[in-house]
A and B are shown apart, each in its own frame.
Chain A
Amino acid sequence: MSALLRHRLTWPVLALVLLLLLNQLFRADFLSVRVQDGHLYGSLIDILRNGAPTILIALGMTLVIASRGIDLSVGAVAAIAGAVSCMYIYSSPEPASLQTAATGVAIAVVAGLALGAWNGFLVSVIGIQPIIATLVLMTAGRGLAQLVTDGQIISVSNDSYQAIGAGYFLGLPISILIAAAAFGITGLLTRRTALGTLIESVGINPVASRLSGLDARTITWTVYVFSGLCAAVAGLMISSNVTAADANNAGLYIEMDAILAVVIGGTSLAGGRYSLVGTLVGALIIQTLTTTVYTLGVPPEATLVFKALVVIIVCLLQSSRARTLLSRRRRPVTEPSRPKVAA
């Protein structure tokens, strides 16, 4: 029992379950999932579908944070990805064809990779502090997206493109499938190979890692490229869902949600050990929270206050101090487990 109480995922999972039950109290059909036209429908599916972009971005963010970095530019990258693909589709001679959609997606993915590589270059080669290096792209990125769309909201009508964010496959929304696949592949790629441990090493002690022969530079670079890729795919989902590119508002504040998801999931911003499952739970908590606000009918003025309180409560429950009180584990009086926090 006490082992269960100490497990770092216990409280986030509990919080998620409680939130869902709270919704169920207010809306009796909340937890039910029904089949309609061969598609799954229901609030749970909605949460997953709306949360897919956040989950994806949080996935990339987890690895960046594990390497002792942070990526503030993901929202801007998502906006750019949406902008370039929609712009391509919009201006192509065959705006409705599958091939056009595929090319648009490919362009967006390449853009995401390139922007990620840019961040990685600034951090790992030039040695700029991650928060500032990515702040540059966060600031300039939305401007770039507007430049692409010339400040307009670009609407496209292409069924294939729309499928990414709003389509169904085997009864499930495609965006959920994409997020799940990304999640699974990342899990395999980092835990079946040595990549995960090496990222953690670099995050915990970069100097010692370099002296042990790790190519810390390449590893750091890789995680930013990956984060850029995740952000681009998330950006495609967002713009495809509304069949338009909105350079100003697409993915606004998504970086904060993603970071929040990572931390609620138990990964320290000081770098080092990470948990992908934790991030998933964290992202779901955040998405459920948004849904809860509507279900409960919280007045719009108080939405942020409500969100703040839930975040604090989840973090309090999860904090090692609170867990100590609960499980009466003895601990050193001083010596914090990770003395330094590098954002």
Chain B
Amino acid sequence: MSVLTRTPAPLDRPRMTRLRGKARYAPTLATMGLFLAMFAAGAVMYPGFLSGQVFLNLLIDNTFLIVLAVGMTFVILTGGIDLSVGSVVALSMMIAAALLQAGWNPAAVIALVLLTGATFGLLMGLVIQVFEIQPFIVTLAGLFLARGLCYVISVDSITVTDPFFTSMAQARIPLVGTLFVSPGVVIALVVVAVAFYVLHQTRFGRTVYAIGGGESSALLMGLAVPRTKVLVYGISGLCSSIAGILFSFYSLSGYSLAATGLELDAIAAVVVGGTLLTGGYGYVLGSLTGVLVLGIVQTFISYEGTLSSWWTRIVIGALLLVFILLQKLFTRKVRLT
């Protein structure tokens, strides 16, 4: 964030370079600030809210969403979208559960699931790139296809009894004091770190941003646009299958109807984190914060305890709205027409 601490630029610089430079970070910073504010509000409203474990539980309960949001960030940064992620999560869970039930080695199962997810994404990317069909449609078809394949595998829920998976479900990694996280959290945070590195330190990552800034410009600049566009969907597919494995660790079962609508949560997290759906602007750390915001909304609901299912929906919608409005308010000052 060196931009924020830089000395003020001389006045004669054209068109407020400095402000616009900051404006890039504004939505993400606003999200982080607001998350902290919400956490503080929770601490005031509910006893016991202000604890490290409540925060860590946000991570523990949302590992799969974090990973999904990371993959989605890549796609959205290029100006695309991936609606298939929820279904691919369910498909990954089904494949894993079915194969484990058939007595496969867990390592082989995980490898196969990750391969399937990545291939599924790459294929969608190829269709998008080669046939120039809109990502929304291709990935919507991907959503139907993956969900359909789940039913083909099994209509019923399959329980996972594999010792490795159950041990992952129960394992706790102790931190200072009584605080702990699950192994899933470590995996999710590693994914975030890798994504951050790739997006900011590699040519591939910068090409992702360039495509979002202007695809035809990126082509004329001689960048590897087609390859990058296919790869981002591959990455999203891979992240979906990682999320599927994490979800399996969490739920110890495979079920065709699992993770329905999760794609919207992932998209919401990414956008709440400050990424523009038109591409080119946004950060994975923002997406991580976006997931935490969605998580804290859930936590509020659970602390409230007595809400009927419809009030829960309304409150989630309202909190989402309040959040977006506040974010808008904070970024408005730095945004220029």
Do chains A and B make direct contact within the complex (CB under 8 angstroms)?
yes
CB distance A340 to B313 under 8 Å?
no
**In the complex, what distance in Å separates the CA atom of A109 from the CA atom of B313?**
23
CB distance B149 to A305 under 8 Å?
yes
**In the complex, what distance in Å separates the CA atom of A341 from the CA atom of B75?**
11
Instruction: Name the contact of B140 in the complex, choosing from A146, A311, A322 (C-beta under 8 A).
Output: A311
Q: Which A residues, 311 to 327, have Cβ-Cβ distances below 8 Å to chain B?
A: 311-312, 315-316, 319-322
Residue of A nearest to B214 (CB): A339
CB distance B137 to A139 under 8 Å?
no
A139 contact set on B, CB distance < 8 A:
313, 316-317, 320
Q: How far is the CB of B227 from chain A (nearest CB, A)?
A: 14
Residue of A nearest to B271 (CB): A132
CB distance B133 to A143 under 8 Å?
no
Q: Which A residues, 73 to 115, have Cβ-Cβ distances below 8 Å to chain B?
A: none
**In the complex, what distance in Å separates the CA atom of A137 from the CA atom of B314?**
9
A136 contacts B by Cβ under 8 Å: yes
Chain B contact residues: over half helix, strand or loop, or mixed? helix
Q: How far is the CB of A130 from chain B (nearest CB, A)?
A: 8
**In the complex, what distance in Å separates the CA atom of A73 from the CA atom of B268?**
14
Q: How far is the CB of B122 from chain A (nearest CB, A)?
A: 15
Instruction: Name the contact of B219 in the complex, choosing from A129, A137, A315, A335 (C-beta under 8 A).
Output: A335
A184 contacts B by Cβ under 8 Å: no
Most buried by A among B132, B279, B310, B316: B310
CB distance B145 to A334 under 8 Å?
no
Assuming the contacts A129-B271, A308-B148, A336-B132, asked whether A343 and B328 have C-beta atoms less than 8 A apart, the reply is no
A37 contacts B by Cβ under 8 Å: no
Contact with B along A292-309 (1 / 0, CB 8 A): 000000001111111111
Instruction: Name the contact of B309 in the complex, choosing from A146, A268, A301 (C-beta under 8 A).
Output: A146
CB distance B318 to A140 under 8 Å?
yes
CB distance A343 to B151 under 8 Å?
no
CB distance B320 to A340 under 8 Å?
no
B325 contacts A by Cβ under 8 Å: yes
CB distance A260 to B137 under 8 Å?
yes
CB distance A341 to B80 under 8 Å?
yes
Assuming the contacts A126-B325, A305-B149, A312-B141, asked whether A132 and B268 have C-beta atoms less than 8 A apart, the reply is yes
Residue of B nearest to A140 (CB): B317
Assuming the contacts A140-B313, A305-B148, asked whether A341 and B133 have C-beta atoms less than 8 A apart, the reply is no
Q: How far is the CB of B115 from chain A (nearest CB, A)?
A: 20
B216 contacts A by Cβ under 8 Å: yes
Instruction: Name the contact of A340 in the complex, choosing from B143, B144, B279 (C-beta under 8 A).
Output: B279
**In the complex, what distance in Å separates the CA atom of A136 from the CA atom of B143?**
22
CB distance B215 to A336 under 8 Å?
yes
B214 contact set on A, CB distance < 8 A:
339-340
B138 contact set on A, CB distance < 8 A:
312, 315
Assuming the contacts A321-B130, A340-B279, asked whether A315 and B141 have C-beta atoms less than 8 A apart, the reply is yes
CB distance A302 to B148 under 8 Å?
yes
CB distance A301 to B136 under 8 Å?
no
CB distance A319 to B131 under 8 Å?
yes
CB distance B313 to A304 under 8 Å?
no
Residue of A nearest to B219 (CB): A334
Assuming the contacts A302-B151, A312-B127, A334-B216, asked whether A127 and B328 have C-beta atoms less than 8 A apart, the reply is yes
Most buried by B among A263, A303, A319: A319
B152 contact set on A, CB distance < 8 A:
301-302, 305
CB distance A268 to B134 under 8 Å?
yes
**In the complex, what distance in Å separates the CA atom of A152 from the CA atom of B312?**
16
**In the complex, what distance in Å separates the CA atom of A137 from the CA atom of B264?**
13
B7 contacts A by Cβ under 8 Å: no
A259 contacts B by Cβ under 8 Å: yes
Assuming the contacts A143-B317, A311-B141, asked whether A340 and B309 have C-beta atoms less than 8 A apart, the reply is no
Assuming the contacts A305-B152, A311-B140, asked whether A320 and B132 have C-beta atoms less than 8 A apart, the reply is yes
CB distance B136 to A128 under 8 Å?
no
Instruction: Name the contact of A135 in the complex, choosing from B130, B268, B325 (C-beta under 8 A).
Output: B268
**In the complex, what distance in Å separates the CA atom of A119 from the CA atom of B257?**
30
Q: How far is the CB of B136 from chain A (nearest CB, A)?
A: 5
B278 contacts A by Cβ under 8 Å: yes
Can you list 13 A-B contacts (CB < 8 A)?
A136-B324, A139-B313, A140-B316, A140-B321, A143-B313, A263-B136, A263-B137, A268-B134, A304-B151, A319-B132, A334-B219, A340-B215, A342-B279
Which 9 pairs across A and B sit closest by C-beta, in order of nearness? A140-B317, A143-B313, A304-B148, A305-B148, A146-B310, A308-B144, A308-B145, A339-B215, A143-B314
9 more A-B contacts (CB under 8 A) besides A269-B134, A308-B148, A311-B144?
A: A135-B320, A136-B317, A140-B316, A143-B310, A305-B148, A321-B130, A340-B278, A341-B80, A342-B278
